[in-house]
Structures are given as structure tokens and as C-alpha cells.
Structure 1
């Protein structure tokens, strides 16, 4: 799929299809609707030029509109051939757009070879109605089909044989655009189905790639606060002025396939998921990004792998949050990574465990951390990229949960502590409690399978005996303590 590189450009494109479920009993005129849009673009730091603007009876007609933005050698340009805003005579305005809206993107990668992309948005039978007041305009949207297609790409002066397209069908949505000290944009969008396809080739070696997929029940919610007179090209300033954005995308079952061909041979991959969602938020308070997938299956056939690779997970989740702005007070951060119910195919197991000595129960890897930190400078301060020292310090760490479960063994843990940053080297102070179940049995099996030499197995058992306390059949517990004077203890025994 193709996505605009610039946040402002994507928001502007989305605003062209802005909608809302509210039907407030108040009046708006076509001119007020147009002024609301142009003000929103200006606050995003974009440039708007109009070929012509005229009144044709009850309809305001805007022709050959150009919407552009540029930064750091990259640019975005969208052309709206015609926009018709019709006064419906009851305080509402109907929006009609050209069926094709071309746009052009230029990006300058680190290698210095400019990448130019030509694309087009196609919509069929769009109906949008604006109601409300000039300070709180609401949009209702229904569009049977909207598609984005990449029609051409160049790297430098060379054509890139790449084509991409995605299509959304049975779309409905709502937008509320408000004005005041800052502009507000609250949106909801639903598509019954999405399909996408991709094809490309490498002229140098003749390799090719094709991909296709679909997803059902796509929902997108977002909320943006856009301060007036701020500079969105300076994200640091925009955040300090009050810029904030949050959004969530969720979809039902999705599946896709990828086929490749190269001088080494042919390959393929297929994947599916029962459902998934991704959320994002950014404001002066911090950045947060996370997602959750359920019922995930992946299958890969590669030319250099003798057997197909197949794996599945009952769920996979991640979350990351961090502060963005300088502060003398500690600010929270968090990190979560959870892969649960992981299984692999019997054919893959047989490559290293042909006699099935290892238990093949679903595996799990989960790390859940939280803590507090202080930043010495804003993350989007240009000086951040030039600093050679840590731009802040971590004050506390909380290991909320830790679990590694695989091949019949399970390691769990929890703990936390504080970090003393007063010296030349940060010194942790706290404790971590660990529990290992099935460790010796796993070592025995690995030795029997000749995957682990006896001398290494002996060393592993010695380490387990040093750090662990037996608590039943093949169960060890350990308490690792870090003291303020830099000493480290395991179960009360000093190690350092």
C-alpha cells in the first residue's frame, strides 16, 4: 500500500473526504465550508492555490486547486480538478468532487537519489453533506468505493517498475471540524472491505515480486488539536503550542500472499490474522504507539530452505510510550512485547528434533516494563541529533512481568528498583525475583539430542546452582539484589 510521507499531506487528503454523523440544526454556506478547509490547510503549514472560483447559482465551483507542502528536500502536491459546494437550501451544503484526484510525491533518501512517485485517488459516487455552524462544521460521508493507485515511480532518472493499489468499499464516516484557539478535527471512518495489490521487478537481476491481500471491517478513529498560527514544520514548537493527535485503526480478518522469483529460485509467503488493532498518540505529554493481533498464521517457502516454514501465534502485542519534552520532573515510560501461543510446524521441528524429544507446547515470550525518566532536551530539538551523550536519565525501572516459556521449560520474573545517576556510571538499586521450572529436564534433552555438549551443560548447571534455590521438583527460585554501594547478591550470597 502507498502512504503519504508527510503527516500534514495525509491529513489534508483525508480532509477532502471529511465527514460526521451530526446533523446540527444550523446554517452553513458553501463559502464558509471552503474557508474552513483552507484555514485548516494553512494551519498545517501547506500552500493552497486556486485556478478559478465562481458561483453558479446555488453552487460554489472551485477549479484546478493545488495543495502543496515541502520540507527537507521532500515535497507533496495534490491536484483537485474540480470541487462543487452546493447550497441545499436548508442550511446544509452538499460536496461533490472530481472522480480522479492525482498527487505527486518527491522524497530524498540518504543516498541522495530522489524518488518521485505519481499516484491518483479514484472515488465513485461520493456523497458528502456539511451541516452545523461555521465554528463547528459537521460532515457526513458515504462513498461506495475509493481507491489509491501508484501509477509511476522513478529513482533518479530511472523508472522503477512498481505498481501498487488499494481499494476501500462500502465506506461511511463522520468528521467534526471546529474552530477556536485551536482547530479540532474528530473523525470516524468505516470500510466494509479493503483489497490491495503490488507488483514490481528489479531490472538488474530480473527478480520480481507480486503481492495481494484483503481485510474486512476496517475502522479508523482519530482526534487532532491544531493550534492556530503554529508551524507544523517545527514539531517541537507545535507540541509546545498545544498540538496533539491520537488515532486507532482496527480491522477484522486479513490475509495476504507474496510471490517472488529470482535467479536463486521461486519463493512465496502467506499470512493471515483473525483481527488486529494499532493505536497512536502524540502530545506534549509524550508519545505512545501500540498494537495487538490475534490468531496469526504465517507460512514461508524459500528457495534456500528445504522445508516450508509455518508458524502461528494466538496473539501478539506491543506497546511503547516515552516522554518527548524536557522536564526537571520524572516522566513515565513503558515497553511491552508479548508473543503468546507460538507454534511451528512439525516439518520445521523435525529439522532439529526428528525424534520428538522436546515438548512442542505453545511458547511465549513476554516482557512488560515501566519506569520514569527525565529528558535534558526536547526529543525534536535539532540539537538532539548532534549530542554525543545520553540526552537524559532513567530514574526508576519496574519489571512488571517477564516470561519465557518454550520446550517444556518456563522462566518467570518480576522486580524493579531505582537508578542512582549522581556518579559517573548509573548505579541500580533494587531486586528481581526469578523462577525457573523445567530447566534441568530441558538440559538433559538437549544433551541427549547432541545439541548441547556435556561440558557446556555442566557449566549451565553450575550457574543454576549458584543463582538458584531448589523449590521442588526441577524448580529453582532466585532473588537478585543490587545494593546502593554497588554490591550484588543472589539469594543473600554476595556475588560482587
Structure 2
């Protein structure tokens, strides 16, 4: 499937639709002129008819178009008629149509693929957009009772999809945003926004497949805060060029209670259902020459699953599910920071699930927790956001690792707890480690509490064969030493500069 250029679409359209593109001076003509220049710099072809009446400006038949040269196809959006009205206090009101249709045409990549044509309607109810301030410090305020993005038509090849076969609706109520901007060659901005309630409704069913998927849900109190810098260059879809020119973004999203319900109707393989809920969610995104970072999570998660081939529902919950990822994306002389983290806190399963493999209750059913927190430094060998580089790098590694720090790895499960910490550096010049790997130097500290007791229980339950358990005990004897408490084992694994490996001071390589 072809892709819409991410730089142009996702940087331009949200700004257009949420009042963040309308860079204005204090006259309607200058507001529209600067907006048009902005969209053209982002790679869009802008078509419009302009007419003035006194101090006001009417721009009709506004259409934005873009050819997706990388994969074929095109994108267009009709903004209809925009009215820029001069206010007595020097501000400019922008009046927009209630419905603005978007058309996406995707060309087939191979002879076996079929062309895809899609129409999406962006709809607003009682929208208010106002530009104020000075040419060097502009402020935009936007509000609407509702906004929505709805699939109005889908055609694949010669097949047109009905609403029963393809449906997409995203609706927000109580929408407001505030944006402050400054600069010309590089535009700095700060933005905040709020959606009181956000809901979605999706249906998917292909004509040749009897299965039908329906999904709906929503989030309450969605709040966004962000800032960044946007260079005004003719980069089109080249995100790497935007980065080199100074593109930065740092934003956070938070939401209150949320829920999702999915139903799969499948006459051949049986029906499937899922209901999930959470008390809150968060997501942070930042990008710039120093790297790309994502951080997010949900709280108080509850999931219920039913399926035709399962005799009872599957239910599980977590106090928190979180992730953290940071990676360099630009080629630099010095290594840059990276990080990866996952947290699954207080994971609990229903007694029905426990009963499948532990009917007599031999294992502790305390909540389980997994924490992974690692960081380090790596040097990029290619610019991953450059489309030409990404298509030609093949099987080559995109980066070389220089440092790895295990801040925390913890697994607390069924009465046993495993922990690991440590730090390792890598010699990328010698490459004398494992085949194709740089030489590691450093150490890891490991501990296991309750592991022997858990292993014995698993053997008694018949989940682990006796011969495999004997092999595991032998490995523990070779690589661990007794810890401070009962059923406690520790190990220190060291990687030396001459390529050796030590376990608790004993040479194993």
C-alpha cells in the first residue's frame, strides 16, 4: 500500500484544520497570502479564487493538491470558501465551511495490486477561528462544538464499499485550541488544545471474506500541549531535510477514562469479542536533530476477551502499562543517546485462566510485574528518515552500539523475582566479540530469589520435565553463588578487555 508523505500531510493538515497554519499579519490579504505561501512550501499545489470587498477577503474554490511521487497516487483537499474578515481591533476572523472533503488516490505498486480511492469528510459545527497579535507575535484561538473525520467513500479497483463494509468515524466534542507563533524563515510555535470527549466507530469487511470487524470506543478529556520549530523550506516529504534545517517538536497528550469494544463476526471460524477500559492515558512525543522519542502508558487497565473456541472468557488487568523509547536518527560524529523501557505493573489474571495450568493452586497468584529500563549510546550510520537512504540500505545495520546500561530489569512472577543491572561498553573498531559483533567490556549483576522453589513446583505440576529441570539446576550451579537470604542466588558476569568472560570471578571463556 502506498504511503501519503508524512512530512507534508501530518505537519500541514493538522495545522490547517486546528487553526495553527493561519499565520497572519493584521489584514485579511496578508493572512491568506502567508497561509498560501506556507502550504506551497510544504509541497502542496494551491488553487483558489480571490475577491475583496472593502477590508474583507473571500477566497473560494480552495483546493490543496499533492502528487505522491515516491509511491504513486495523489492527495487533494477541498476547503471550499474561506472568508477573512477584518475586525475593528486589528484581529482577523476566519470563517470556514462546515464540511471539507479530502480525496486520496493510491496507485498500485505492483501489477497484482489494485488502485485505491478514498474520500474523507472533515466536518465542523459552529467553528470560530480568530487571529490576533502582531506580525512578529501572532496568536490563534479556535473553538468548535464538534469536529469529525468520516469516511464518505472507498473504492478498491472496481469494487465500491458500502457503510456496512467500510466505516470510519472520529468525532470530538467541546474542541478548543490556542497557538502562539513567531518567526519567518523558521517558525517557532507553542500550542495547547482540549477535546472534551473523543469517540470513534470503525467497521471493516472485505467482499470476499465473510468475517466482519466492528470496533468503537472513546476517550474523555483529551489535552494536548506542544512546542517546536518548523523551517520554511521547500522540503516536500523529505523529513531528513526538515530535520537538518532545524525541525523540532515536543508535545504531550493526556486523556481521562477510555474504553474500546471490538466484535468480530466470523461464520467460518467463530465469533470474537473484546472489551477494554482504562482510567487514564498519556503520550509524549519529541523529535529533532538529537533524536526521536516516544513515552506513554495507561492506568488501571481491564480487558475481557471472549472467543468461540474458548469455554470461558479471558479476563486480565494491570495497574499500569507503560513504554519509553528514544533513538538517534541523524548521522553524527559522536554517539547519541538511546533508551528503551517497558513496564507492566501488577498484572493479574482471572482464576479461570490460572485453573487451566494450576488447578490445585500450587503457584502464588500474586500480581506479576515486569520492568525493563535500558539506555546507552549509539552512532547512526544512515539517516533513517531519508527516503533514498532507507530504500538502499538493504540488510546493513543502521547503527553501531557504543554503550549499554541496564538500569533495571525486573520480573516478579509466581513467587520468584529476577533482577539485573549493569553497564557495558563496546569496541566497534576491534569487532573481536561474537561474529559480526563489537567487543564488550563491562559487567552485569544478576539476582534470583525464589527461583529454585518455583522450578520445583513446575516439575511437580508436570509443566517442566525432570531432565530439563536438572539442566537448569546445573546452569545455576555453574553461573551463580548463594545470596544473602533463603532460596537466593546472585551472579556477576564480567566481560574483560582481552575478550574473556568471568562468572563470579571464574573464567568461562
Alignment of structure 1 residues 243-282 onto 2, 5 Å: 243-262=247-266, 263-282=268-287
Q: What is the SS of the residue equivalent to 2:382? A: coil
Separation in 2 of the partners of 1:5 and 1:258? 30
Structure 1 equivalent of residue 94 of structure 2: 95
**Compared CA separation, residues 13 and 321, structure 1 to 2 (3 A):** same
Which stretch of structure 1 is more off in the superposition, 412-421 or 202-211?
A: 202-211
Q: What is the SS of the residue equivalent to 2:263? A: strand
Q: CA deviation at 1:158?
A: 2.2
Separation in 1 of the partners of 2:120 and 2:397? 42
Q: Can you list the C-alpha shifts for 1:361-381, whole angstroms capped at 9, x where unaligned?
A: 111121111111112332234
Q: Unpaired runs of 5+ in structure 2?
A: 432-436
Separation in 1 of the partners of 2:194 and 2:320? 24
Contact preservation (8 Å) 1:427, 1:486: yes
Structure 1 equivalent of residue 434 of structure 2: none
Structure 1 equivalent of residue 116 of structure 2: 115
Separation in 2 of the partners of 1:390 and 1:104? 38
Structure 2 equivalent of residue 54 of structure 1: 51
Contact preservation (8 Å) 2:7, 2:239: no
Structure 2 equivalent of residue 23 of structure 1: none
Separation in 1 of the partners of 2:84 and 2:127? 13
1:409 aligns with 2:409: no
Separation in 2 of the partners of 1:433 and 1:114? 56
Contact preservation (8 Å) 1:321, 1:335: yes
1:476 aligns with 2:489: yes
Structure 2 equivalent of residue 105 of structure 1: 104
Contact preservation (8 Å) 1:138, 1:176: yes
Residues paired across the two proteins, number: 488
Q: CA deviation at 1:319?
A: 1.3
**Compared CA separation, residues 295 and 27, structure 1 to 2 (3 A):** same
Pairing partner for 1:462 from 465, 468, 474: 474
Contact preservation (8 Å) 1:36, 1:134: no
Q: CA deviation at 1:176?
A: 2.1
Q: CA deviation at 1:384?
A: 4.3
Separation in 1 of the partners of 2:172 and 2:383? 39
Which stretch of structure 1 is more off in the superposition, 465-474 or 388-397?
A: 388-397
Separation in 1 of the partners of 2:73 and 2:502? 55
Separation in 1 of the partners of 2:255 and 2:108? 32
Pairing partner for 1:434 from 438, 446, 450: 446
Q: CA deviation at 1:398?
A: 0.5
Structure 2 equivalent of residue 303 of structure 1: 308
Pairing partner for 1:65 from 59, 62, 65: 62
Separation in 1 of the partners of 2:228 and 2:82? 25
Separation in 2 of the partners of 1:38 and 1:258? 42
Pairing partner for 1:165 from 152, 166, 169: 169
**Compared CA separation, residues 211 and 376, structure 1 to 2 (3 A):** closer
Q: Unpaired runs of 5+ in structure 1?
A: 21-25
Q: What is the SS of the residue equivalent to 1:265? A: coil
Q: What is the SS of the residue equivalent to 2:179? A: strand
Structure 2 equivalent of residue 180 of structure 1: 184
Q: What is the SS of the residue equivalent to 1:486? A: coil
Q: Can you list the C-alpha shifts for 1:298-340, whole angstroms capped at 9, x where unaligned?
A: 1111122222111111111111111111122121111111111
1:366 aligns with 2:394: no
Q: What is the SS of the residue equivalent to 2:331? A: coil
Q: CA deviation at 1:223?
A: 2.6
Separation in 2 of the partners of 1:109 and 1:341? 47
